[in-house]
Amino acid sequence: MDIYLDQNIWIDLAKIYHGKDERPEAVELLELVQSKITSKAVRFPLSSVHYIETATISNPGRRERLGQVMFDLSRGETMAYYRRIVIGELEKALSVHFDIAPREYELFGYGYSHAFPIDFPRGIPDTIRPLLERSCLTGEKVFGQGMGGHNSKEQDKKFNNHIKELYRVKTELPKSQWDDALYAMALMDIQDPLNEVLQFWNIDFSEFESLGKNVLSSILDDMPSRALEVHLHRLVLANDNYNPKITDLNDWGGFALGAMYCDHAIGEKHMVDMLTRKKFKSKANIHKNVFDLGTVLENA
């Protein structure tokens, strides 16, 4: 069973792990988590967003404590990086319309280099690798060198501005054309991986484009990441009072995407509400409280 935990849920678990929350039900929950991990009945895969959010913690001690818990309880298991997931989705969706065989890839793997398109240096002894992997989360230095630094603020701001600009769709287009605009955005957002896939399979872009609006929209609907994007953008457009948060990029690309591929996802109320509105179907059963994890694990 694959369970995606939002960053705030990891923080809740870290408080229990480090004795900041000593309530009996909290201690019991942690013991249940650890027993299920030991039996390999569940896994808690990390995404690139987890690394990014943890690396932006300015307090070294706080980052190290949280990173330790995330590495220990995830066992270093990670989801593939976003672009690779999108390529897999594209090839599967296009195989319905073109004579191609989607290339296999591991959705879940091990470590930092699985969550990012980055290779670890070759020749690292097996005894050292876990230390380096852990340091990507904790910020600890291994042999005097730190690993896994990130600063996502610039991308956060760009995405925040993108959400704000969505309202131009309302003012410039009639409501009957909003969906067309959203599907166009969802396609433009993956232009680079799309070009890569078309080139790999020798499909001319004109062949792809000739499929027509309805078929192209159905292809995007068949791609979990694109169906998610269209759904979330629809909700933003429908809500005149939607107030973009600087964390929206991480919420959409982390927790929301994780919910499309894991069996369960536990996160904050804001994103839980967005993922469960308008009868939207994610793969995961969605929960919004760390103690919901206990109920999930009891059935694992």
pLDDT of residue 142: 74
As a whole number of angstroms, the distance between CA 182 and CA 193 comes to 18
Token pair for residue 166? 């969505």
As a whole number of angstroms, the distance between CA 204 and CA 198 comes to 7
As a whole number of angstroms, the distance between CA 280 and CA 262 comes to 15
Residues 237 and 269 sit within 8 Å (Cβ to Cβ): no
pLDDT at 182 over 80: yes
pLDDT of residue 135: 92
Q: How confident is the model at residue 23 (pLDDT cuts 50, 70, 90)?
A: very high
Token pair for residue 261? 């591929």
Rounded to 10°, the helix 224-238/82-94 angle is 100
Residues 250 and 49 sit within 8 Å (Cβ to Cβ): yes
Residue owning tokens 């380096």: 132
**Domain ranges for the chain:** 153-257
Greater model confidence, 239 or 106:
106
3-class SS at 286? Answer: strand
Would you give the distance in Å from CA 133 to the centre of its chain?
19
- Tell me the one-letter amino acid at 9: I
As a whole number of angstroms, the distance between CA 290 and CA 300 comes to 16
As a whole number of angstroms, the distance between CA 210 and CA 38 comes to 52
pLDDT (average), residues 182-202: 96
Alpha helices, H only, 18-110: 24-38, 48-55, 60-74, 82-94
Which residues, in sequence order, are CB contacts of 57 under 8 Å at separation 6+? Answer: 63, 66
HEC string of 49-69 equals: HHHHHHHCCCCHHHHHHHHHH
The 10 Å Cβ neighbour count of residue 286 is: 21
Q: How confident is the model at residue 186 (pLDDT cuts 50, 70, 90)?
A: very high
As a whole number of angstroms, the distance between CA 233 and CA 272 comes to 15
pLDDT of residue 161: 77
Q: What is the pLDDT of residues 201-217, one digit of tens each?
A: 999 999 999 999 999 99
| Whole-structure pTM value | 0.92
Element of type H or E holding 279: none
- Tell me the one-letter amino acid at 216: L
Strand runs labelled E in the chain: 3-5, 77-79, 108-110, 264-266, 285-287
Q: What is the pLDDT of residues 280-292, one digit of tens each?
A: 999 999 999 999 9
Find the radius of gyration of the CA atoms of the chain.
Answer: 20
Would you give the distance in Å from CA 287 to the centre of its chain?
16
pLDDT exceeding 70 applies to what percent of the chain? 96
